[in-house]
Structure 1
Amino acid sequence: MDVENLKLYLKNRDYKQVGECLRDVFAIKSDANGQRISAEFSKQLVDLLVEALTVASKESADLLDESSKALRNYALNSDTRGYLGNEGFLKLVVSIVESDSSKPNSPFRKYLFQLLLNILTLNDEVVRKMYVTVYESICNYFLKDSSCLYETSALIYNLTRYVELTDLKIISRVISLYGNREETNEFLLFLMEKIICEDYFWKNYSAIEMNDRLTVLKVLRELLVKGDVVISDACVQCLVKLFLNSTNVIFQVTNSDKMTYETSTAVEVLSALSSEKTYSKLIRGNKDILITAGVLLINLHKLGKISNNCLTPIQKLKEVQRPNHDIRENPFFCFKADLIRLIGNVCWRDRKMQDLAREAEVIPVLLDCCNIDANNPFIIQWVILAVRNLCDNNPENQKFIASLRTEGTVSSALLEEFGLTLHSQGDETIRIVPLNR
């Protein structure tokens, strides 16, 4: 490139000619193997591009676009990135990003954000320098504008690799954007994982809006299923606190109650964590957890028997085999099964907890829950495991269960579909017999 001619064009304010030169020289090109070719580094040329960017920010919106794009492309060269990674240039970029010198839908900010992403690949020292210099400006733009969402999400994630995310506005914005799946990207997911794995969010959980809390709990549940997340003690402690304060959920039996969704999801997560060695130390042995789980289970089971509501067991074969959308969207979907799983896990090889479950009259309710229910997939299996854990090396619990007696039979919608019913002969023997129609 003829640097002298470019200088002359700039001096004469021939910005159209400058733009054409930049487009021609700094267009992204590839070799025969498809590898990108970056222009050879020249300190004089970089300085000239920075001058063009500075002038354009004040005098020419079109040149601002072209000079930003040229610098972005030139930064594919590692020497160029190293030369631009200084505080003075970073502050210049911030001032231009925050300025109003642009035409509608101008792409210069996107180019400058992409340039910053190229620069921060240099080394950790540059990342820390950029955090001090440009982070606040990036966050302000992220909060007010979604036009460069991918770039600003990527910058915030990379710039906070060595610090905890402690801005509640940014946290809420990330969660809200991720919850709106139409605008999500992989860096929003990375930020969600960062938020979930750090202490700050969980220590300020009550300050977060309900919709955002539900989004985080759902993402946490998904990550636990995949097995690729490590959470902090603060997360477990927050979930335990949430659960212990949730007993009023038994009075909320409508499908639209968000508090019920929150509690139900928290119970699902806690029940899964209670079987993990890393986290179980914060859950097992906690008598309050067992008592709360027992109280919830007893009351939810009773409410399901009183009238036809969202707690009533669903035993139709078609719905048991494949629960429909309405069943899955029930805030109590899997709730009883997860409570039973939690009870079984906190009583595992713990004599005091096993005895407390018996004294709290949890065992009869567990056994009464041993029925197929589309609202609670695998509930029978979780009951069997819970009873096994309650009876393990505990003669008193074994004797208690052995002393239980049959008190008649209950109708089963599932058996009735097959033309069968249960019949007691008065000798504690129950048989399956044809149903008289």
Structure 2
Amino acid sequence: MSEMCPCGALLGESLMPREMAEEGIFSNLLEILMSASSEIEQACKDSNESVDLDTCLLLTAECFRCLRNACVECAKNQHVMRNLGLISTSVHLIKLLHGIQMKEELLLTALRCSLQFLGNIAAGNRDSQNSIWKCAFPDLFLTCLTYNDEKIVAYCCMILFTCLNSEKVRELLDPGNLTVAFHVLKVYKEQLESEWSFLIVTDHLLKCPELVKALYAKLSNQERVTLLELIMVNVNEKNPVTSEEVNVLMTHADFLAGCFQENCEAVLKLTSAADAEDEEALVTIRLLDVLCEMTSNNGQIEHLQSLPGLLETAIDTLRLTHIAGKQAVNIFTATHAMTGQEEISHPAVGFKSHLIRLIGNLCYKNKKNQDKVYELDGIPLILDNCSIDDNNPFVNQWAVYAIRNLTEHNERNQELIAQMEEKGLADNSALESMGLEIEKRDDKLILRSVRKKPS
């Protein structure tokens, strides 16, 4: 079976006839499309004008099919078509087609084929991409991204992805053009199978921190959650290798840490069952998830550990949620009543676990942050959250991780925990479950790691 290009044209065995096409063929097709444009334009201006739109649309679609197939992986034909002016003619015709007040299949087919042609003439051809951008941006993209047809939207995203580069992404920063980025994100949210919209965001938009900031400011809380989920995917899948990629990630981290610090208390709205789906709180939860992933990467952790206020915010938020869970029964109340069969679907499940994880990450081999947690009375707080809690899966494991990072080469933190255990302020069984024990040496209490005995 022959390989197919993204727009459906056959490759391989049909390549030679395509290469042999003469310029006259494309000139004839151009004339037909220009004639069709004139007739459609006249019909739009004068509703009394007798124009056979069905035949016109059918002919237009067939012309674009021919052009679409002729320029697949054929630089010669792409060059000829571009020089003839087929790109500008096509963009003009697409705008006319959009203005026709009908939603019949013939119109949709003509629109789809026209966009497929633009996608194929742009593929691998920078000159064609620049020409399309000059003729089509932003109006054509705004029109097609909001069209009530999934295929037209998908083909539009394909063209946009193909044409974008770092310079063109920066053009999206213009307030009038930012709407294009907004609609791409909306397409991804509403059409999760749209691979092109996903690639536009992850491969282009997220590489411009200024654009991410500008877009984030314009989004609703629900849309911010979608953007943060895409950032999470990007952080998980890509390890930056160039200094530019590292700088981009650091700028994202600075911005998202600032957003978390500003909005962290919104999560307390979730103590009310009526606000279980509060969108501002959901943004806070997703911000924390992204920061946990970012601080788990050894390549960037030192920068993130030095961000002003982030560690203090994490400790303060842990304290607030811990107090809220003790004052009344809510999602932040520690519970161990499940049989193992149930699942809690509340969005704040695991929130305190992730706060402890973030604190542990920020203290990894960092004496300054270890001491800061001591000064903020964060160690007793973490120890008070280390018991099994169905609302916070793996909280014990993250507490182990955090305590070990807090006590590594830090005698003052070790001594504090040892004194707490001696005074009964720390649960010895909890310490044992962490693989830690208190030992007295020369009237000094030492916290040390022990091997667990096999059960």
Q: Give the shorter-chain TM-score range.
A: 0.7 to 0.9
Q: Residues 8-407 of structure 1: matches in 2 within 5 Å?
A: 38=18, 40-59=20-39, 60-76=56-72, 77-86=74-83, 88-100=85-97, 104-105=104-105, 106=107, 107-147=109-149, 148-162=152-166, 163-164=168-169, 165-166=172-173, 167-181=177-191, 184-193=193-202, 194-204=204-214, 205-227=216-238, 232-253=249-270, 254-319=275-340, 324=343, 327-328=344-345, 330-404=346-420, 405-406=423-424
Worse-superposed segment, 221-230 or 363-372: 221-230
1:283 match: secondary structure: helix
Q: Could you tell me which amino acid in structure 2 is paired with residue 171 of structure 1?
A: A
- Tell me how far 1:70 sits from its aligned partner: 2.2
The answer as to whether partners of 1:41 and 1:79 remain within 8 angstroms in 2 is no
Alignment check: 8 A CA contact 1:344 1:390 kept: yes
Matched to 2:424, the amino acid is: T
Give the TM-score of the pair, scaled to structure 1: 0.79
Q: Tell me, which stretches of 5 or more residues in structure 1 are unaligned? A: 1-26, 413-437
Maintained 8 Å contact 2:61/2:110: yes
Aligned residues: 378
SS at match of 1:373: coil
Retained in 2: the 8 A contact 1:255–1:310? no
Equivalent-residue separation in structure 1 for 2:335 and 2:14 (angstroms)? 59
Q: Which residue does 2:48 correspond to in 1?
A: none
* Gap change, CA 1:287 and 1:55, over 3 Å in 2: closer
| Unmatched 5+ stretches in structure 2 | 1-7, 40-55, 431-455
Question: Counterpart amino acid of 2:380?
Answer: P
How far apart, CA to CA, are the structure 1 residues paired with 2:230 and 2:11?
40
- For 1:367 and 1:144, locate their aligned partners in 2 and report how far apart those are by CA, in whole Å: 52
Quick one: distance in 2 between partners of 1:396 and 1:30? 70
Aligned counterpart, 1:9: none
1:348 and 1:66 mapped to 2: Cα distance? 64
Task: Provide closer, same or farther for how the CA distance between residues 161 and 310 of structure 1 changes in structure 2, counting only shifts above 3 A.
Answer: same
Q: Secondary structure in 1 aligned to 2:418?
A: helix
Contact 1:202/1:238 (<8 A) preserved:
no
TM-superposition CA deviations, 1:372-407 (whole Å, max 9, x none): 122222211111111111111111111111001225
User: Which has the higher mean CA deviation after the structures are superposed, 120-129 or 47-56?
Assistant: 120-129
Secondary structure (helix, strand or coil) at the match of 1:308 reads coil
* Superposed CA RMSD: 2.8
Contact 1:202 1:234 in 2 (8 A): no
Identity of aligned residues (%): 22
Distance 1:408 1:195, change over 3 A: closer
Contact 2:254 2:307 in 1 (8 A): no
Bigger shift: residues 168-177 or 399-408: 399-408
Cα distance in 2, alignment partners of residues 278 and 305 from structure 1: 38
Q: Which moved more, 1:271-280 or 1:237-246?
A: 271-280
Looking at structure 2, the residues matched to 306 and 365 of structure 1 have their Cα atoms a distance apart, in angstroms, of: 16
SS at match of 2:314: helix
Mapped to 2, the partners of 1:65 and 1:351 lie a distance apart of 68
Shift of 1:225: 3.6
- SS of 1:252's equivalent in the other structure is helix
Displacement, 1:366? 0.5
Counterpart position of 2:451:
none
Q: 1:79: Cα distance to partner?
A: 2.5
Contact 2:294 2:301 in 1 (8 A): yes
- Show CA shifts across 1:17-47 (max 9, x none): xxxxxxxxxx97788x798963731111211
CA change 1:142–1:128 in 2 (3 A) is same
| Matched-pair contact (CA < 8 Å) for 1:284–1:347 | yes
Matched residue of 1:99: which SS? helix
**Local SS of the residue matching 2:356:** helix
Distance 1:379 1:122 in 2: 50
User: Which residue identity lines up with residue 316 of structure 2 in the other structure?
Assistant: V
3-state SS, counterpart of residue 243 of structure 1: helix
Is the partner of 1:313 in helix, strand or coil?
A: coil
Match of 1:3 in 2: none
> Secondary structure of 2:89's match?
helix
Equivalent residue number for residue 44 of structure 2 = none
Give, in whole Å, the separation in 1 of the partners of 2:322 and 2:213: 33
Q: For 2:403 and 2:266, how far apart are their aligned partners in 1?
A: 25
Distance across 2 between alignment mates of 1:122 and 1:276: 34
Instruction: Between 42-51 and 128-137, report the one with greater CA deviation.
Output: 128-137
TM-score by length of 2: 0.76
C-alpha contact (below 8 Å) 1:30/1:36 kept by paired residues: no
Residues 63 and 250 of structure 1, relative CA distance in 2, 3 Å threshold: closer
Q: What's the secondary structure of 1:145's corresponding residue? A: coil
Partners of 2:181 and 2:143 lie apart in 1 by 14
Partner Cα separation in structure 1 for residue 31 and residue 335 of structure 2 = 72
Larger radius of gyration: 1
Take 1:296 and 1:121, find their aligned partners in 2: how far apart are those partners? 49
- Residues 132-158 of structure 1 deviation map (CA, whole Å, 9 limit, x = unaligned): 222334313224314201110001111
Paired with 2:59 and 2:264, the residues of 1 have a C-alpha distance of: 63
